[in-house]
Protein backbone atom coordinates (compact mmCIF):
# COMPACT_ATOMS: atom_id res chain seq x y z
CA UNK A 1 0.00 0.00 0.00
CA UNK A 2 1.42 3.35 -1.05
CA UNK A 3 1.74 6.08 1.57
CA UNK A 4 -0.39 9.19 1.03
CA UNK A 5 1.83 12.20 0.31
CA UNK A 6 0.34 15.63 0.94
CA UNK A 7 2.02 18.79 -0.31
CA UNK A 8 1.35 22.06 1.49
CA UNK A 9 2.90 25.51 1.64
CA UNK A 10 4.97 26.59 4.61
CA UNK A 11 2.28 29.20 5.35
CA UNK A 12 -0.36 26.44 5.58
CA UNK A 13 1.90 24.39 7.84
CA UNK A 14 2.64 27.34 10.10
CA UNK A 15 -1.03 28.34 10.19
CA UNK A 16 -2.26 24.98 11.48
CA UNK A 17 0.60 22.67 12.44
CA UNK A 18 -1.75 20.62 14.60
CA UNK A 19 -3.64 19.66 11.42
CA UNK A 20 -0.32 18.64 9.83
CA UNK A 21 0.40 16.35 12.79
CA UNK A 22 -3.13 14.93 12.62
CA UNK A 23 -2.52 13.98 8.98
CA UNK A 24 0.82 12.38 9.90
CA UNK A 25 -0.84 10.40 12.72
CA UNK A 26 -3.37 9.19 10.16
CA UNK A 27 -0.50 7.77 8.08
CA UNK A 28 0.27 10.54 5.59
CA UNK A 29 3.62 12.04 4.76
CA UNK A 30 3.48 15.84 4.53
CA UNK A 31 5.86 17.74 2.25
CA UNK A 32 6.17 21.39 3.23
CA UNK A 33 7.07 23.62 0.29
CA UNK A 34 8.20 27.19 -0.36
CA UNK A 35 7.58 28.43 -3.91
CA UNK A 36 6.78 24.85 -4.97
CA UNK A 37 10.19 23.64 -3.71
CA UNK A 38 10.30 21.05 -0.90
CA UNK A 39 11.67 22.46 2.34
CA UNK A 40 10.80 19.72 4.83
CA UNK A 41 9.09 16.38 5.10
CA UNK A 42 7.04 15.41 8.14
CA UNK A 43 6.36 11.72 8.64
CA UNK A 44 5.75 9.38 11.54
CA UNK A 45 8.68 8.46 13.72
CA UNK A 46 10.21 5.03 13.30
CA UNK A 47 9.62 2.33 15.85
CA UNK A 48 11.52 2.50 19.12
CA UNK A 49 14.49 0.15 18.98
CA UNK A 50 16.15 -1.28 22.06
CA UNK A 51 19.42 -3.09 22.54
CA UNK A 52 19.37 -6.60 23.94
CA UNK A 53 20.74 -5.31 27.24
CA UNK A 54 17.88 -2.79 27.44
CA UNK A 55 15.38 -5.58 26.78
CA UNK A 56 16.93 -7.70 29.49
CA UNK A 57 16.78 -4.77 31.91
CA UNK A 58 13.03 -4.53 31.28
CA UNK A 59 12.42 -8.11 32.43
CA UNK A 60 10.76 -8.53 35.81
CA UNK A 61 13.11 -9.50 38.63
CA UNK A 62 11.56 -12.98 38.90
CA UNK A 63 11.91 -13.73 35.16
CA UNK A 64 13.47 -17.05 34.20
CA UNK A 65 14.44 -15.85 30.74
CA UNK A 66 18.01 -16.57 29.72
CA UNK A 67 20.16 -15.98 26.68
CA UNK A 68 22.37 -18.92 25.95
CA UNK A 69 25.89 -18.39 24.55
CA UNK A 70 24.90 -19.68 21.09
CA UNK A 71 22.07 -17.15 20.78
CA UNK A 72 24.30 -14.30 21.91
CA UNK A 73 26.94 -15.32 19.33
CA UNK A 74 24.32 -15.52 16.57
CA UNK A 75 23.03 -12.04 17.38
CA UNK A 76 26.56 -10.64 17.47
CA UNK A 77 27.34 -12.23 14.08
CA UNK A 78 24.18 -10.75 12.58
CA UNK A 79 24.98 -7.29 13.91
CA UNK A 80 28.57 -7.37 12.67
CA UNK A 81 27.82 -8.83 9.24
CA UNK A 82 24.50 -7.30 8.31
CA UNK A 83 24.19 -5.23 5.19
CA UNK A 84 21.41 -2.77 4.32
CA UNK A 85 18.50 -4.47 2.62
CA UNK A 86 17.70 -2.85 -0.72
CA UNK A 87 14.65 -4.66 -2.06
CA UNK A 88 13.82 -4.27 -5.74
CA UNK A 89 11.36 -1.54 -6.66
CA UNK A 90 8.03 -3.00 -7.71
CA UNK A 91 5.98 -1.28 -10.33
Tell me the pLDDT tens digit for each residue of 26-63.
Answer: 989 999 999 999 999 999 988 778 887 888 888 888 98
More confident residue, 36 or 65: 36
Do 38 and 67 share a domain, yes or no?
Answer: no
Number of domain units in the chain: 2
Instruction: Tell me if 62 is assigned to some domain.
Output: yes
pLDDT at position 16 is 96
Q: Residue 90: its pLDDT value, please?
A: 74
- Tell me how far apart the alpha carbons of residues 53 and 83 are, in angstroms, rounded to a whole number: 22
- Report which DSSP code applies to 6: E
**DSSP character string of 26-81:** TT-EEEEEETTEEEEEE-PPPPP---HHHHHHHS-TT------HHHHHHHHHHHHH
**Domain annotation covers residue 88:** no
Cα(42)–Cα(20) distance, integer angstroms: 8
Boundaries of domain holding 34 = 5-42
Q: What is the mean pLDDT of the chain?
A: 86
Q: Are 56 and 77 in the same domain?
A: yes
Q: How many angstroms separate the most distant Cα atoms in the chain?
A: 60
* Residue 29's CATH number: 3.40.1620.10
Q: Quick one: pLDDT at residue 5?
A: 95
Q: In this structure, is residue 86 part of a structural domain?
A: no
Task: Give the confidence band of 91 by pLDDT, cuts at 50, 70, 90.
Answer: low
Work out the percent of the chain whose per-residue pLDDT is above 70: 98
Q: Confirm if 37 and 10 have CB atoms less than 8 A apart.
A: no
Instruction: Note the pTM of the prediction, 2 decimals.
Output: 0.53
Residue 73 resides in a domain: yes
Amino acid sequence: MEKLVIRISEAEAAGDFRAVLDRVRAGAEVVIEHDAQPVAVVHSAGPIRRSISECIALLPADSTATIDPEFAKDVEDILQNSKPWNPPAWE
